[in-house]
Amino acid sequence: MPDTATLPTIDDAVALGLTRDEYALIVDKLGRAPNQVELAMFSLLWSEHCAYKHSKLLLKTLPTEGRHVVMGPGENAGAVAVGDGLAVAFKVESHNHPSAVEPFQGAATGVGGILRDIFALGARPIAVLDSLRFGEPEASERSRYLLDHAVAGIGHYGNSIGVPTIGGEVYFEGPYEQNCLVNAMALGLAATDRMVRSAAAGVGNVVVLFGASTGRDGIGGASVLASAELGEADADKRPSVQVGDPFAGKKLMECSLDLLDRGLLVALQDLGAAGLTSSASEMASKGGVGIDLDVARVPLREAGMEPFEIMVSESQERMLCVCEPARLDDVLAVCARWEVHGTAIGEVTDTGSMRIFDGDELVADVPVPALVDDCPVYTLAPEPPEAPPYPAPVRVLAADASVQDALLALLASPNLASRRPLFEQYDWIVQSRTVRRPEEADAAVLALPDGSALGVAIDGNGRRVAADPYRGTIAAVLECAANLACVGAEPLGVTNNLNFGNPEKAHVAWQLAESVRGLGDACRALGVPVTGGNVSLYNEGGAGPIYPTPVIGMVGHLPDANRAGRLGFAREGDAIALAGWDAAPSLAASELSKLHGEPLPDGLPEVDLARERAVLEAIRDAVRAGELRSCHDIAEGGFLVAVAECCLAGGLGATLDLGPSDDPWAHLFGERPGGFIVSGPRAALDALATRVPLDVFGTVGGDALELRIAGATTRWPLGGLGDAHRRLARYFP
């Protein structure tokens, strides 16, 4: 083919993140050296982000089948059927590195990106959840800055586009100081038979780009290709910070859904990272066709953009669709109605190649399989470390602190304190579906048209995964399932985002492999398929890798929205019970051990997954029966923190009588999956006792939490507990 620029060198390829071997393989696939545009395209599609080079083989081991599954891994998002002819599409994705650079825009564009993945399927986005990790806020001004700005950015995008942010999670740990995590999950609702796939089809069909114009956004690395033509002076023409525009995103969303409602499209795909290159190639690949694109027709925000820049630009709020030529005018008319710019930029061909033109000039010609399928995948070389390679946290609670002080310290600790200062910055009510708001229940609950509801939870305690990647990941899955059980929801599907360090390091490879093994085993045991997710590797700072952080998002269904569980104590005189635990919890890797500055243990206690499943089902059935007045799972902080949370959520005190215990500290503050604090009439608790270990230990009432254990009595007025629990507010002056 005619050559446009002087051919880039193998060093350019390396500068773009490809290995010398990968470059050689590209030359081999093409039968010639790639030109500038082609190398730019390969550098994106053969990147870790697009090709899953280090995770693909592991991901293959995950269970993806299930009777509810409508779409599994491979599409823009997974989807499960929820009855009534409806399906819920959902996926979690990370925007860690952009958020570490510019937290507000990074988090905002992260939300925008995951929402496009959802409506690309023809599903109307109905909810967002966020999962955040930062360094210790008390010690680190940078972490406070990242927290403040990332939260504002998530709210900015989600609030402005009219999708409620109904839940999320945030943890603060030293290892995230240099490399924060910003993951966002989105859910969408669609009529199952109206969902679209992204496979391009129909030779001669038109490829239409619509949405924002294309600028130099996100062109960081690839700009080395331009170094030939551009001097230092032009360096600032290469901004790589993407600015989110939720207003444009809103119009793009309504326009896309309108186009689909009118049945005008053959295929639809969002432009995410890797822009036009990956969207077009993936559409071609899935349809087994070729695509011709003319970059000269792409509307530009900046003059003088090179063809390769147009192909790799990550400009936000853009979509790509395929339609029949006869429908083109209608498609463009719908775009115009929504004030969205639409342009025909190419067509579907039978060449099996991506051919990029600049006007009449052919500037790239690459077989689609070479781009999409032929990237080498690497098997990891896992090696467990001697012990978890992380420094012990700083002690913030005296070794001889009393139970009185320990509970207050735990409630006030950044990982346990109320998230209200965060979620009050999110609109959690728009769209009129939110049956359970943040802090009302362990899972968010969204009403469906037929009176049933969805339960959604997202979780992943990196510190426990760092202590034991296999059991820690199982614990994260169980935590999500427990949250769903507390509202009465049956799990239908799981999405996940694997946030890890550099997989070329043996111990990180081991963390990743063990974590995925745990994810697979837990999902198989619970009978929940993994329908999608995302992988974010190389999350490291000067001090080394982050805690291994698999973020689990779980979606479930409950038959009656009116019976969705609540976590707060509801009525004076109700009996309170501990349900589920058959063994004492352990202080290993607990929040209390963190406050005491203890290093991570090497391993967590074993859990019996079959038994955990039975407990989850019993709790779920009890909540669905509608007789329990509250149900809350025991998580970080342990038993006593869970009870205090029930008191605060309900504005009611409680009196607890625990009797003797051989290890009161472990009993009160130890952590392990499968424990629940339930309250209600005695009969309801007795009914539950026929299915799970259950111990009635207290009564709801009064304006204080009063604990009698081994003869001693400790009393916490609700006011004091509330003040401690509100501690995060100080980071949002």
Partner 1 sequence: MKFGVVRFPGSCDDVDAQLAASRVGEAVLLWHADRDLQGADAIIVPGGFSYGDYLRAGAIARFAPIMEEVIAFARDGGPVLGICNGFQVLCEAGLLPGALLPNDHLRFRCRQVTVEVLNTDTAFTRACEVGERLSIPCKHTTGRYYAPDPDALEAGGQVVLRYAPGENPNGSLRDIAGVCNEGRNVVGLMPHPEHAVDERVGGSADGLKLFASAAVALA
Partner 2 sequence: MAAEDGGLRARVLIRPKAGILDPQGIAVERALPALGFKGVSNVHVGRLVELDVEDASQLDEMCRRLLANPLIEDYEIVK
Using CB under 5 A, list all residues that contact Mg ion.
Answer: 76, 117, 270, 272
Active site residue 725: no
Shorter beta-carbon distance to partner 2: residue 4 or 313: 313
Q: Does 161 contact partner 1 by CB under 8 A?
A: yes
Q: Does 254 contact partner 2 by CB under 8 A?
A: no
Q: Does 242 contact partner 2 by CB under 8 A?
A: yes
Q: How far is the CB of 732 from partner 1 (least distance, A)?
A: 7
The span from the CA of 702 to the CA of 576, in Å, is: 14
Q: Which residues pair with 459 in a beta bridge?
A: 552
Hey, which bits of 607-693 come out as E strands?
Answer: 630-633, 654-659, 676-680
Within residues 307-366, the interface with partner 1 by CB under 8 A covers 338-339
Listed in sequence order, the residues at least 6 apart from 547 whose beta carbon sits closer than 8 Å to its beta carbon are: 133, 173, 175, 176, 390, 462, 463, 465, 466
Shorter beta-carbon distance to partner 2: residue 337 or 395: 337
Contact 105, 242 (CB under 8 A): yes
Q: Which does 498 bind (CB under 5 to 8 A by kind): ligand ADP, Mg ion, partner 1, none?
A: ligand ADP
The pair phi, psi for residue 535, each rounded to 5°, is -125, 130
Q: How far is the CB of 212 from partner 2 (least distance, A)?
A: 8
Q: Compute the C-alpha angle 552/555/557, nearest 5°.
A: 155
Contact 530, 73 (CB under 8 A): yes
Q: How far is the CB of 50 from ligand ADP (least distance, A)?
A: 6
Pick the piece of the chain touching ligand ADP (CB under 6 A) from 152-160, 218-226, 246-254, 526-534: 526-534
Pick the piece of the chain touching partner 1 (CB under 8 A) from 326-334, 379-387, 430-438, 592-600: 430-438
Pick the piece of the chain touching partner 2 (CB under 8 A) from 181-189, 230-238, 467-475, 565-573: 230-238
Give DSSP secondary structure letters for 381-448.
-----SS--SPPPPP-S-TT--HHHHHHHHHHSTTTS--HHHHTTS---TTS-EEE-BTTBSSEEEE-
Token pair, residue 618, equals: 């019993």
* Neighbouring C-beta atoms of residue 84, cutoff 10 Å: 13
Q: Does 212 contact partner 2 by CB under 8 A?
A: yes
Q: How many residues does the chain have?
A: 733
Sign of CA dihedral 331, 337, 338, 342: positive
The span from the CA of 647 to the CA of 418, in Å, is: 13
Token pair, residue 120, equals: 């690309």
Q: How far is the CB of 150 from partner 1 (least distance, A)?
A: 14
Q: How far is the CB of 124 from partner 2 (least distance, A)?
A: 23
Token pair, residue 327, equals: 């429908």
Choice from 1, 3, 24, 74 touching ligand ADP (CB under 6 A): 74
Q: Report the Cα–Cα distance between both ends of the chain, in Å, rounded.
A: 61
Q: How far is the CB of 426 from partner 2 (least distance, A)?
A: 21
Hey, which bits of 138-266 come out as E strands?
Answer: 165-172, 181-191, 206-211
- From the number of C-beta atoms within 10 Å of its C-beta (0-12, 13-18, 19+), residue 92 rates as buried
Shorter beta-carbon distance to partner 2: residue 302 or 695: 302
By rule CB under 6 A, what string of x and - marks binding of each residue 444-483 to ligand ADP? ----------------------------------------
Shorter beta-carbon distance to Mg ion: residue 119 or 176: 119
Integer angstrom CA distances of residue 34 from 13, 23, 25, 45, 365: 10, 9, 11, 14, 9
Distance, C-alpha 169 to centroid of its chain: 10
The span from the CA of 616 to the CA of 614, in Å, is: 5
Pick the piece of the chain touching partner 2 (CB under 8 A) from 234-242, 385-393, 475-483, 616-624: 234-242
Q: Of 54, 68, 95, 156, which residue is the catalytic one?
A: 95
Shorter beta-carbon distance to partner 2: residue 129 or 248: 248
Shorter beta-carbon distance to partner 2: residue 45 or 182: 182
The span from the CA of 260 to the CA of 211, in Å, is: 15
By rule CB under 8 A, what string of x and - marks binding of each residue 331-370 to partner 2? --------x-------------------------------
Q: Does 156 contact partner 1 by CB under 8 A?
A: yes
Contact 414, 463 (CB under 8 A): no
Pick the piece of the chain touching partner 1 (CB under 8 A) from 227-235, 281-289, 433-441, 469-477: 433-441
Q: How far is the CB of 699 from ligand ADP (least distance, A)?
A: 45
Within residues 103-122, the interface with ligand ADP by CB under 6 A covers 117
The pair phi, psi for residue 664, each rounded to 5°, is -55, -35
Render the burial of 668-684: b for 16+ CB within 10 Å, e for the rest: bbbbbbbbbbbbbeeeb
478: which DSSP letter? H
Integer angstrom CA distances of residue 57 from 21, 24, 60, 512: 20, 23, 5, 12
Within residues 82-101, the interface with ligand ADP by CB under 6 A covers 91, 93
| Pick from 241, 409, 265: nearest CA to 331 | 265
Q: How many residues bind ligand ADP (CB under 6 A)?
A: 18
Within residues 44-63, the interface with ligand ADP by CB under 6 A covers 50, 59, 62
Shorter beta-carbon distance to partner 1: residue 149 or 197: 149
Shorter beta-carbon distance to partner 1: residue 61 or 562: 562
Token pair, residue 93, equals: 């994705």
Choice from 263, 399, 432, 662 touching partner 1 (CB under 8 A): 432
By rule CB under 8 A, what string of x and - marks binding of each residue 61-100 to partner 2? ----------------------------------------
Q: Does 232 contact partner 2 by CB under 8 A?
A: no
Q: Which does 606 bind (CB under 5 to 8 A by kind): ligand ADP, partner 2, partner 1, none?
A: none
Enumerate the H helices of 288-393 as residue ranges. 307-312, 328-337, 368-372
Q: Of 49, 68, 557, 667, which residue is the catalytic one?
A: 49
Q: Does 105 contact partner 2 by CB under 8 A?
A: yes
Active site residue 95: yes
Q: Does 75 contact ligand ADP by CB under 6 A?
A: yes
Q: Hey, what amino acid is at 115?
A: L
Contact 337, 251 (CB under 8 A): no
Q: How far is the CB of 21 from ligand ADP (least distance, A)?
A: 23
Within residues 315-334, the interface with partner 2 by CB under 8 A covers 315-316
Sign of CA dihedral 295, 297, 299, 305: positive
Shorter beta-carbon distance to Mg ion: residue 76 or 105: 76
Integer angstrom CA distances of residue 681 from 29, 488, 655: 70, 18, 16
Q: Does 314 contact ligand ADP by CB under 6 A?
A: no
The span from the CA of 124 to the CA of 240, in Å, is: 30
Pick the piece of the chain touching partner 2 (CB under 8 A) from 209-217, 442-450, 529-537, 559-567: 209-217
Q: Does 514 contact ligand ADP by CB under 6 A?
A: no
Element (H, E) at 532: strand 530-536
State the residues that interact with partner 1 by CB under 8 A. 152, 155-156, 159-162, 245-248, 250-251, 338-339, 423-435, 437, 447, 561-562, 732
State the residues that interact with ligand ADP by CB under 6 A. 50, 59, 62, 73-76, 91, 93, 117, 272, 496, 498, 530, 532-535
Residues serving a catalytic function are: 49, 95
State the residues that interact with partner 2 by CB under 8 A. 101-102, 105, 212, 215-217, 236-239, 241-243, 245, 247-248, 301-302, 315-316, 339
